[in-house]
């Protein structure tokens, strides 16, 4: 049973993305009988109806016009194994939502389409397996078309694709090229994108097409679609492509930008040699990378049913089979290195922060954002730099924006625990003592070592401590891995950031206008929490920087709109019937 997002609710979602969503179902159907659920539902009722052997939940998707189904009652039927599918980039800012979903649904295991995902989210170590991209061989095949296009260039060209940026200009200045517009996936215009059979035929009529693994050195679909359609793949040398079986000059061409033109000139001068490489690339993809070669989810299901105590399921090769490892084998896992350019920038930033070189850390975090403007680790890192440099207003803005992405844009039930702990600390550093104290009891089910330290500090400041806080059997998973701190180290840090931002260690004055406003929002939120189903309670917390009242207005609008629309439609239908009976003399209202 596949709980998949609704990827075709309106004209905003591109046909390209819809095709890939359908392809996931087609691949699963190779190994399972698949029932797809894409609407709001009750898990217990659906399981009672279909009696599934396995429940798969799509999560962490970055919207693009698709809608996320609301699934309730996921604690029912504990005997049915549940796994998540991260259908998103390894660096996606919806990963915090993925982690929240997994915690809320009681899911331990996740499969990711990104080969770099395990390295990008270390908190999932040992629980994340890769279900790599693949092609449908019925679409991406050799159509036998004449090669009439020297070079075909498709896809977006910006900071996420540094190699593609470098070669795009080199190729378009020197060769006849078929160049498609760089459509954004979430734009309605993306429906004009070459996709499916039309895209495959364009590739089949082309001699070569370049693609890169993004700044994250990831296996993307183009790496497989280009050779799968009988076109020469020109790309950069990265570990995942070598793991996939690609060899320079044998079944593809690896080229650094400075040497690209010379390599392409030599290839175009030898069409027979090009045909040999094209044929070898086509054979590789159709022998190893079609939907028939992605049984990892079925392998996990079969292995998990007979797993003995102490044993675990491991994946050592992103394209190879899963197997059972015993406790005696020690640490066994993916051998693929994490070589993403953004990860290198983040490592430099963390090293600088640890040594107190905050300006250098800031520059490195900003360098990571040059690749992906919404990269959550870099945005969180800049908030930490802000706190360390007395820029608490900027820190609050960054942290509230991060949390709103998870709660509002994605729709998760809780924020990232480390981001929430730092938001409370930033409130304290900004002098919003009462707001920080009041919000310490928000998300009471959320447990994390960093959040425990922050709550304990706020308990000490409060007139009526709420603690001691209970410790969950399994603390919530965070996107951010920080060095462990003792309570004394945490207290010293809080004093330091308050002092840097001009606040006394007590956390600021009480009785301010902001405090009174926050008290009103908190009282309103408590009242809305008591309403059945929480249908009009905003997803964001009643705290500074989240636009709580605006969110409440929108929630009320969504709740009231359907009845109003139904009443208006009934009125229009009655008016139309009156016109039919009495002719056009009836004056229609302006609305």
Residue-range domain boundaries for the chain: 2-132+294-328, 149-291, 374-513
- Candidates 251, 243, 183; CA nearest to 219 is 243
- Using the CB atoms, write b or e for 427-445: b if 16+ within 10 Å: bbbbbbbbbbbbbbebbee
Rounded Cα gap, residues 362 and 353, in angstroms: 9
| Nearest-angstrom CA–CA distance, 418 and 88 | 22
Would you state the pLDDT for residue 65? 76
Q: Would you tell me the crossing angle of helices 358-371 and 341-354 to the nearest 10 degrees?
A: 170
Which residues, listed in sequence order, are joined to residue 324 by a DSSP beta bridge? 313
Instruction: For residues 394 and 582, give the distance between their C-alpha atoms in angstroms, rounded to a whole number.
Output: 65
Q: What is the pLDDT of residue 516?
A: 63
**Token couple for 582:** 């009495």
The reported pLDDT for the residue numbered 182 is 81
Residue 560, classified by CB atoms within 10 Å of its CB into exposed (0-12), middle (13-18) or buried (19+), is exposed
pTM: 0.89
8 A C-beta contact, residue 226 and residue 209:
yes
In this prediction, residue 473 carries a pLDDT of: 65
Helix (H) or strand (E) holding 6: none
DSSP one-letter code for 22? H
What is the per-residue pLDDT for 590? 38
| pLDDT value of residue 233 | 98
Query: Strand 206-210 to strand 253-254: parallel, antiparallel, or no bridges (unpaired)?
Result: unpaired
Pairing outcome for strands 2-3 and 55-59: parallel
pLDDT of residue 585: 40
- Judged by DSSP in three states, 72 sits in strand
Give the CB-side neighbour count of residue 53, counting CA atoms within 13 A. 11
Strands annotated E in 87-191: 109-112, 128-130, 149-153, 177-179
How many degrees, rounded to 5, is the angle at CA 196 between CA 194 and CA 197? 100
CA 329/CA 502 separation, integer angstroms: 54
Rounded CA gap, 442 and 344, in Å?
A: 35
Query: Is domain 149-291 in CATH 3.40.50.2000, yes or no?
Result: yes
Kindly provide the residue ranges of all beta strands, DSSP E only, lying in 180-251, ordered along the sequence. Answer: 206-210, 232-235
Question: What does the H/E/C string look like for 425-465?
Answer: HHHHHCCCHHHHHHHCCCCCCCCCHHHHHHHHHHHHHCCCC
Phi, psi torsion values for 494, nearest 5 degrees: -60, -45
- Per DSSP, 327 falls in state G
- Identify the pLDDT of residue 584: 42
Task: Give the list of residues 6+ apart from residue 563 with CB closer than 8 angstroms, or none.
Answer: none
CB 143 within 8 A of CB 201: yes
pLDDT score for 334: 84
Tokens of 342: 């953004």
Instruction: For residue 468, give both structure tokens.
Output: 């001691």
Q: What is the pLDDT of residue 576?
A: 60
235: left (phi over 0), alpha (psi -120 to 50) or beta: beta
Q: Strand pairing partners for 254? A: 235
Q: End-to-end distance of the chain based on CA atoms, in angstroms?
A: 45
* pLDDT tens, residue order, the chain (591 aa): 999 999 875 545 566 778 888 999 999 999 999 999 999 999 999 999 999 999 999 999 987 778 899 999 999 999 999 999 999 999 999 999 999 999 999 999 999 999 999 999 999 988 999 999 999 999 999 999 999 999 999 988 889 999 999 999 999 999 999 998 887 776 666 677 788 899 999 999 999 999 999 999 999 999 999 999 999 999 999 999 999 999 999 999 999 999 999 999 999 999 999 999 999 999 999 999 999 999 999 999 999 998 988 899 999 999 999 999 987 787 777 888 999 999 999 999 999 999 999 999 999 999 999 999 999 999 999 999 999 999 999 999 999 999 999 999 999 999 999 999 999 999 999 998 888 988 988 888 899 999 999 999 999 888 777 666 666 667 899 999 998 899 999 999 999 999 998 888 765 554 455 566 677 777 787 787 777 666 677 878 888 778 888 878 877 776 666 655 555 555 665 666 555 445 444 333 333
395-407 per-residue burial string, b: 16 or more CB within 10 A, e: under 16: bbebbbbbbbbbb
């Amino acid at each position: 049973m596949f709980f998949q997002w609704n990827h075709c609710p309106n004209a905003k979602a591109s046909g390209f993305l819809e095709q890939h969503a359908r392809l996931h179902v087609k691949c699963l159907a190779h190994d399972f009988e698949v029932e797809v659920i894409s609407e709001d539902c009750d898990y217990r009722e659906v399981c009672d109806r279909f009696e599934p052997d396995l429940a798969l939940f799509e999560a962490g998707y970055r919207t693009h016009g698709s809608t996320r189904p609301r699934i309730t009652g996921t604690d029912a039927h504990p005997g049915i194994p549940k796994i998540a599918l991260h259908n998103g980039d390894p660096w996606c800012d919806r990963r915090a939502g993925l982690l929240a979903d997994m915690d809320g649904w009681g899911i331990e295991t996740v499969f990711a389409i990104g080969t770099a995902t395990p390295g990008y989210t270390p908190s999932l170590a040992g629980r994340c397996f890769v279900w790599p991209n693949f092609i449908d061989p019925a679409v991406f095949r050799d159509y036998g078309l004449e090669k009439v296009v020297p070079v075909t260039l498709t896809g977006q060209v910006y900071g996420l694709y540094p190699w593609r940026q470098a070669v795009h200009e080199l190729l378009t200045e020197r060769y006849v090229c078929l160049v498609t517009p760089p459509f954004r996936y979430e734009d309605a215009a993306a429906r004009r994108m070459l996709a499916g059979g039309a895209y495959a035929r364009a590739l089949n009529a082309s001699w070569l097409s370049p693609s890169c693994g993004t700044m994250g050195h990831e296996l993307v679909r183009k790496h497989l679609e280009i050779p799968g359609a009988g076109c020469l793949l020109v790309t950069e040398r990265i570990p995942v492509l070598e793991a996939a079986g690609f060899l320079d000059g044998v079944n593809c061409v690896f080229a650094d930008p400075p040497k690209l033109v010379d390599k392409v000139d030599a290839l175009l001068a030898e069409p027979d040699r090009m045909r040999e490489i094209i044929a070898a690339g086509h054979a590789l993809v159709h022998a190893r990378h079609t939907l028939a070669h992605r049984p990892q989810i079925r392998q996990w299901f079969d292995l998990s049913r007979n797993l003995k105590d102490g044993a675990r399921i491991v994946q050592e090769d992103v394209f190879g089979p899963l197997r059972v490892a015993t406790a005696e084998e020690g640490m066994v896992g993916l051998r693929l290195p994490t070589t993403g350019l953004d990860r290198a920038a983040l490592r430099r930033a963390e090293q600088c922060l640890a040594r107190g070189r905050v300006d250098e850390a800031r520059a490195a975090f900003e360098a990571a954002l040059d690749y992906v403007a919404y990269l959550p680790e870099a945005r969180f890192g800049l908030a930490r730099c802000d706190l360390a440099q007395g820029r608490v207003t900027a820190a609050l803005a960054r942290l509230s924006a991060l949390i709103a992405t998870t709660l509002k844009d994605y729709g998760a039930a809780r924020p990232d625990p480390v981001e929430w702990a730092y938001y409370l600390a930033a409130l304290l550093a900004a002098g919003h003592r009462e707001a920080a104290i009041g919000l310490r009891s928000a998300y009471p089910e959320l447990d994390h070592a960093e959040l425990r330290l922050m709550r304990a500090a706020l308990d000490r400041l409060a007139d009526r401590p709420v603690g001691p806080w209970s410790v969950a059997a399994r603390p919530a998973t965070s996107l951010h891995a920080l060095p462990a701190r003792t309570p004394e180290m945490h207290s010293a840090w809080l004093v330091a950031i308050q002092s840097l931002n001009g606040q006394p260690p007590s956390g600021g004055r009480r009785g301010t206008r902001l405090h009174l406003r926050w008290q009103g929002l908190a009282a309103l939120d408590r009242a809305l929490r008591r309403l059945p189903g929480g249908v009009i309670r905003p997803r964001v917390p009643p705290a500074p920087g989240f636009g709580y009242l605006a969110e409440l207005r929108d929630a009320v609008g969504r709740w009231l709109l359907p009845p109003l629309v139904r009443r208006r439609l009934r009125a229009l239908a009655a008016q139309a019937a009156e016109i039919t009976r009495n002719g056009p003399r009836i004056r229609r209202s302006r609305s």
